[in-house]
Amino acid sequence: MRPHVVAVIPARGGSKGVPGKNLRRVGGVSLVARALAACLAADRIDAVHVSTDSAEIAAEARAAGAGVIERPAELAGDQASSESALCHALDTLAGQGIEVGVLVFVQCTSPFIRSADLDAAVGMVASGAADSVFAAVDSHAFLWRPTGDTVVGVNHDVARRLRRQDRAPEFRETGAFYAFRADLFTQVRHRFFGRTKVVLVPELTTLEIDTEADLEQARALAPLLDPRPPALPVAAIATDFDGVHTDDRVLVDQDGVETVRVSRSDGLGISLLRQAGIGFVIVSKERNPVVGARAAKLGVDVLQGIDNKAHALGVWLTERGLDAREIAYVGNDLNDLPVMASVGWPIAVADAHPLVRRAARLVLERNGGAGAVREVCDLVLASQPTR
């Protein structure tokens, strides 16, 4: 049997710059889960392992279908190098009888890694075209270095400024991923050796998260860079009511009676979900007869007067033996953020608050009260074997 192509994702539990960084969410998905998804979707990677000292990160890895390598404390501190974690991972895998031919080193701090780029890197090493490969973008930047009380040009002649098209490109390492021959790596114990080449990746995918500002930038980019899922493989849907089933407006008559407007297409979508055996629950902060009446008409569960939506939904899920990672929650405003962070598929309606949109794994195309619920229902139904 040929040696394995194995991806290793080092993911410590601690981080000083961004506390709990590897579990922080971008596009509704933790950084470690994003790295796992990229590796698991790559055609040329045989197995994926996370090297970690964190029980929570290990649980995410196992839930995704990856292996876990328990990293000892002496290799999990701020001063420990990535190479030390990779060497430990290779030793652990060798002890399990796994022969690694190509090692792919993937960093959680780069949230927009593409599976196709990982495959390209593996292909270059596996074919013998390179011994080590890293992700890069080409650069024509003019670089300067301080010398004394002035600066001097580093990669250009200051007296002869060539046009961009007349200059050979240089390469900027992104830090996202590396691929190399495992046998040579164990000898030299660093990631650059032999014939070193690059895989050029799109500039927009190269953001590396080292600060809270980087994290916010990644969240802003996620709706642009993350592909829209063709289907939602979830076991149940939970939603807010006001602003999701309605347009967040209410009519009040002279007697104080409130009425709202809802979408008939939403109702049909929920009916189709129920026929498919998909659970549905409305979780509302308000206690209003109109919410109960709508839930009764739809034939779905309703939790009203809820201040802690995440807790209430957790109880509902436990009673039904459901896993929060298999649940979608659709929200529109700030009080939805905690519950959105507790589920696998946090979803925002198109006209949701900007912070809710940033926290979402999926931002819908339709506004609340204008078919947003039906849009979610259709995506869930698309994941079913038969319709």
Backbone angles phi, psi at 5, to 5 degrees: -100, 115
Which pLDDT value is given to residue 259?
A: 82
- 346 falls within a domain: yes
Residues 220 and 248 in one domain: no
pTM above 0.95, yes or no: no
Q: 376 is written with which tokens?
A: 């979610």
Residue spans of the chain under pLDDT 70 = 1-3, 386-387
Q: Which of 173, 206, 225 is the last residue of a domain?
A: 225
Domain extent, residue 21, equals 4-139+165-225
Q: Answer left, alpha or beta for residue 295, where phi above 0 means left and psi between -120 and 50 means alpha.
A: alpha
Per-position DSSP letters for 250-310, written without gaps between them = -EE-TT--EE----HHHHHHHHHHHHTT-EEEEE-SS--HHHHHHHHHHT-EEE-S-S-HH
Nearest to 138 by CA among 92, 172, 107: 172
Diameter of the chain by CA atoms? 82
Which pLDDT value is given to residue 387?
A: 47
- 152 falls within a domain: no
Residues 178 and 309 in one domain: no
Backbone angles phi, psi at 22, to 5 degrees: -70, -15
Residues 94 and 190 in one domain: yes
Backbone angles phi, psi at 240, to 5 degrees: -70, 170
Residues 281 and 221 in one domain: no
Opening angle at CA 45, ends 44 and 47, nearest 5:
155
Residues 80 and 217 in one domain: yes
Residues 188 and 282 in one domain: no
Residues 126 and 77 in one domain: yes
Opening angle at CA 61, ends 63 and 125, nearest 5:
130
Residues 111 and 246 in one domain: no
- 157 falls within a domain: no
Here the CATH number for the domain that contains residue 9 is 3.90.550.10
Nearest to 384 by CA among 235, 240, 252, 175: 235
Which pLDDT value is given to residue 386?
A: 62
Which pLDDT value is given to residue 29?
A: 93
- Structural domains counted in the chain: 2
Helices and strands, counts by H and E, the chain: 12, 19
Q: Are 134 and 198 in contact (CB under 8 A)?
A: yes
Which pLDDT value is given to residue 2?
A: 60
Report the alpha-carbon distance of residue 115 to residue 197 in Å, rounded: 18
Looking at the DSSP bridge assignments, the partners of residue 180 are: 103, 132
Which pLDDT value is given to residue 296?
A: 94
Here the CATH number for the domain that contains residue 256 is 3.40.50.1000
- 154 falls within a domain: no
Residues 194 and 340 in one domain: no
Name the 3-class secondary structure at 347: strand
Q: Answer left, alpha or beta for residue 269, where phi above 0 means left and psi between -120 and 50 means alpha.
A: alpha
Residues 292 and 205 in one domain: no
- 156 falls within a domain: no
Residue type, 314: G
Residues 217 and 243 in one domain: no
Residues 241 and 130 in one domain: no
Which pLDDT value is given to residue 156?
A: 86
Nearest to 54 by CA among 75, 70, 31: 70
